[in-house]
Amino acid sequence: MRWIRKVVGVSLCAAIGFSSFAFGTSDKAEAATPKAEKILKTGKQYLGVKYRLGAPSGVTYAFDCSSFIQYIYKKNGISLPRTTRQQVTKGKKVSRGYLSKGDLVFFTGRSGRSIGHVGVYAGANRILHTYGKTGVTISSLGTSYWKNHYATARRVIL
């Protein structure tokens, strides 16, 4: 009788564990589209290119966050406005738990009040973006700065 309870208990724990695992993964992002992969590939070609606030549209010697996003999406057939404040109004809102490669990810600025930065979701909790002395880079969304300044995300690849 004891061994039946143990078997049932272990089976129940295993079932709960597997269903928890399944529920835990249900909010994972969808598979990346070929368009998203192309956009990321385009953006990665510019890793290390310097950051310059107000960099003009269409140049590749320097980018600010929104000119970088505008450039790599335009190279792949998607027109976006020039500024972060305009870009955040495009596409469809996506909750953080449902991010897919290619989604635009927005952050508040240092003030914490308004949208001040944009990057492209690169999968595995990372963003491809440009800022500061680093220039075009890939950063983890898990770092405290990006975690604390996360504002919203938009899907423009429809």
Which pLDDT tens digit goes with each residue over 122-135?
A: 999 999 999 999 99
Do residue 10 and residue 49 come from a single domain? no
Predicted pLDDT of residue 10: 40
Do residue 73 and residue 96 come from a single domain? yes
- Catalytic residue from among 39, 84, 115, 117: 117
Q: Which domain holds residue 95?
A: 31-155
**Count of C-beta atoms within a 10 Å radius of residue 4:** 8
- Please write the tens of the pLDDT for every residue from 13-40: 433 343 333 323 334 555 689 999 999 9
Do residue 78 and residue 100 come from a single domain? yes
Do residue 65 and residue 18 come from a single domain? no
For position 40, which CATH number holds? Answer: 3.90.1720.10
H/E stretch holding 68: helix 65-74
**In terms of pTM, does the model score above 0.85?**
no
Do residue 84 and residue 56 come from a single domain? yes
- Nearest CA to 65 out of 137, 113, 125, 126 is that of 137
Burial class (CB in 10 A: 0-12, 13-18, 19+), 144: exposed
Total number of domains in the chain: 2
Q: Are strands 92-94 and 150-155 parallel, antiparallel or unpaired?
A: antiparallel
Q: Is 65 a residue of the active site?
A: yes
Q: Is 129 a residue of the active site?
A: yes
- Please write the tens of the pLDDT for every residue from 68-108: 999 999 999 999 999 999 999 999 999 999 999 999 999 99
Q: Where are the beta strands (DSSP E) in 38-149?
A: 92-94, 104-108, 115-123, 126-131, 135-140
- Catalytic residue from among 49, 99, 102, 129: 129
Helix/strand/coil for 158 = coil
Do residue 85 and residue 41 come from a single domain? yes
Do residue 118 and residue 90 come from a single domain? yes
Q: What average pLDDT does the chain have?
A: 85
Do residue 67 and residue 133 come from a single domain? yes
pLDDT > 70? residue 3 = no
Do residue 115 and residue 56 come from a single domain? yes
User: Alpha-carbon distance 81 to 65, whole Å?
Assistant: 12
- Catalytic residue from among 40, 55, 65, 136: 65
Do residue 7 and residue 58 come from a single domain? no
Do residue 52 and residue 106 come from a single domain? yes
